[in-house]
Structure 1
Amino acid sequence: MSTINFAEGGYRAIPAVFQYSGGVAALPGFSIRRVRFLEPVPVAEGFRRIEEEIRAAGRPLTAFCACELRSPAPFTDEGFRDFNRSYVEPLRRWGVVGDDLNPVARSNVCPEFDPPTEPSFHAFAFTVAEPESRATFVIAGSGEAREGGARYEDATVRPGETSPDAIAEKARYVLGEMERRLGLLGMSWREVGATQVYTIHDLHPFLASEIVPRGATRGGLTWHYCRPPVRGLEFEMDCRHVAREAVI
């Protein structure tokens, strides 16, 4: 089974690792709404504000389906595991995370300039009831490492290399992973409304040869001058199509 229905939240998810899913898509009768904070909000306060927003929309907390985080600097493998264990605890209390599935899609990146002083929410998404809505979805962020291994370094494409050729190869891997996840949800680049790239390396050497021809920029491309969340990773992407977006 490529996806698992999370009926309590009104969406289905691509099973992945304990800290996040590979992506989510609204179930029939629902659509996904994205909300961005004007300034990053520390995680604990962010969960409180997210709860207020979801309840104000008349939705259960299980409707929480995706988020985008900002962290001060890339983590070590151990530090990332520690952060993830603390991050999922509020989701357990909300009834979102169970013993065998975390359905929430996520990205977590580190701004190179003016980073937050602690891990913070940049944006989040949740489902709302909309019987006649188009298909909406969020693909979780992915860097150039296969997920689920003991160490990111062991699963990273060309670890330690940052030449233009190496960055292009990393980007090809990530683009392929985006396409794999889109396919699991029954989607393609044609349905994507927004694509985001996170890297401090120059995109231009391979933008026209690798990214644009695939159709990954049909809805535009937002380049965040950020690093992926784990030391040694250099390139990350996510993408989405949502029904509404707001800034608070």
Structure 2
Amino acid sequence: MTRDFEAGNYRFIPAVFQYSGGAAALPGYEIERVRFDTWLPLADGFAAIAKYIQAAGRPLTAFCACELRSPGAFTDEGFRKFNEHYVKTLGEWGLYDGTTNPVARSNVCPEIDPPSEPSFYAFSFTRPSANTTPTFVIAGSGEAREGAGSYAERTVRYRDLSPEGMKEKVQYVVGAMERRMSAFALGWKDVTAAHVYTTRDFHHVLPDALVRRGAARSGLTWHFARPPVIDLEFEMDCRRVMREVVI
């Protein structure tokens, strides 16, 4: 089930307080993705994002997705504290009401040359468009099942790095992407970019779990990075965006 966020001209998949499961532009609008050539620390990134969105003649509520890079994986408690800090700005922008957050997000940890503090890698926002092609951004998902409990309790094949363990992790994450896209009545055939985040070998499941399902329709970008919580090993996100720029 999705919900409209009229102030931003997009609909979203309700999820947890720190992010939504994905965002899709409403009719008459499209999503633009902007990637920073140099990653910006959180405060500087929010300032640059505000400047760019407002220069495009859009309200800050048009902010619909972002991609973060963190120094290293968090504990459950550390991740909660980071998220509580992150959503403060979203509240100031009229995006987060204390319970519901419409902004999709990915947050991963580069294994080599990570940032010294959580930083923005990219962001997306809505803008008016005559293009009738649907545009969307699906939030990143690791192999932790949704619901109550610690990440350890919810993780598929917890700490199992065997070939079979990695297979189940990958299959779960691909399925999560498909479930989120299906909420918008969309699928792999609509995707223009798919990203994988892991430092583990997943090549043995690549043909069946990803390529044959259509997940590599536009290629597959592998980032040598970990999901944001300790002991998660595989994450993905995907999108359909017709306009992408680097600043």
TM-score by length of 2: 0.98
Contact 1:17/1:147 (<8 A) preserved: no
* Structure 1 residue 204 displacement after superposition: 1.2
- Tell me the distance in 2 between the aligned counterparts of 1:49 and 1:148: 34
* Structure 1 residue 210 displacement after superposition: 1.2
Equivalent residues in 2 for 1:53-64, closer than 5 Å: 53-64=52-63
**Residue 102 of structure 2 aligns with which residue?**
103
**1:154 aligned onto 2:167:** no
Equivalent residues in 2 for 1:15-164, closer than 5 Å: 15-164=14-163
Report the residue type matching 2:139 in the other structure.
Answer: A
**Residue 243 of structure 2 aligns with which residue?**
244
Contact 2:91/2:98 (<8 A) preserved: no
Question: What SS does the aligned partner of 1:8 have?
Answer: helix
Contact 1:61/1:94 (<8 A) preserved: yes
Q: How many residues align?
A: 247
- Tell me the distance in 1 between the aligned counterparts of 2:137 and 2:120: 16
- Tell me the distance in 1 between the aligned counterparts of 2:7 and 2:185: 21
Contact 1:74/1:110 (<8 A) preserved: yes
- Tell me the distance in 2 between the aligned counterparts of 1:118 and 1:132: 38
**Residue 219 of structure 1 aligns with which residue?**
218
**1:191 aligned onto 2:190:** yes
Equivalent residues in 2 for 1:228-239, closer than 5 Å: 228-239=227-238
- Tell me the distance in 2 between the aligned counterparts of 1:147 and 1:98: 22
- Tell me the distance in 2 between the aligned counterparts of 1:219 and 1:187: 15
Q: Segments of 4+ in structure 1 off by > 2 A?
A: 147-150
* Structure 1 residue 127 displacement after superposition: 0.2
Report the residue type matching 2:244 in the other structure.
Answer: E
- Deviation string 1:88-139 (CA, Å, 9 cap, x unpaired) is 0000000011133100000000000000000000000000000333100000
Contact 1:23/1:139 (<8 A) preserved: yes
Question: What SS does the aligned partner of 1:171 have?
Answer: helix
**Identical-pair percentage:** 60
Unaligned runs of 5+ in 1: none
TM-score by length of 1: 0.98
- Tell me the distance in 2 between the aligned counterparts of 1:41 and 1:247: 13
- Tell me the distance in 2 between the aligned counterparts of 1:17 and 1:101: 7
Question: What SS does the aligned partner of 1:99 have?
Answer: coil
Deviates more, 1:159-168 or 1:192-201: 159-168
Question: What SS does the aligned partner of 2:44 have?
Answer: helix
Unaligned runs of 5+ in 2: none
RMSD of aligned residue pairs (Cα, Å): 0.8
- Tell me the distance in 1 between the aligned counterparts of 2:163 and 2:69: 26
**1:181 aligned onto 2:180:** yes
- Tell me the distance in 1 between the aligned counterparts of 2:65 and 2:117: 20
- Tell me the distance in 2 between the aligned counterparts of 1:239 and 1:126: 15
